[in-house]
Amino acid sequence: MAEFRDTLREFRVKLLGVEVLLEVEKGRRTKEWLEGAALPADERAEATRRLIDRGFLEQRPEPDQYVLTDAGKHLLKNIRGKIASNGKVDWTRIAEVDFPRM
């Protein structure tokens, strides 16, 4: 059971990272949101730091405090190609997504 829980946590962290990338791509969230002003604050802040450390996000001065790097854009393209290639999201294909270094 512990192994299952760990696998779910790892998957949740990756999905949260994808959520952060999508929010940055669309420019919909503030620095405060990305750094933890809303729930789950600690996990989102951790995901944001991880994405910066691994080269998917770049921190910039205001007003665009975070921007996607080329690697971040490529990752989102990969995810869309796997789970939404026909324009409709098919989460059953999520296992096909390669989440390198996330």
* In the predicted structure, residue 39 carries a pLDDT above the cut 50: no
Q: What is the rounded CA–CA span in Å between residue 61 and residue 36? A: 18
Residue-range domain boundaries for the chain:
2-69
Confidence of residue 92 (pLDDT cuts 50, 70, 90): confident
- pLDDT for position 56: 94
Q: How much is the pTM? A: 0.73
Q: Could you read off the pLDDT of 57-84 as tens digits, one per residue?
A: 998 877 668 889 999 999 898 888 888 8
Q: What is the rounded CA–CA span in Å between residue 49 and residue 52? A: 5
The DSSP line for the chain is -HHHHHHHHHHHHHHHHHHHHHHHHHT-S-HHHHTTSSSSHHHHHHHHHHHHHTTSEEE-SSSS-EEE-HHHHHHHHHHHHHH-TTSS--GGGGGGS--TT-
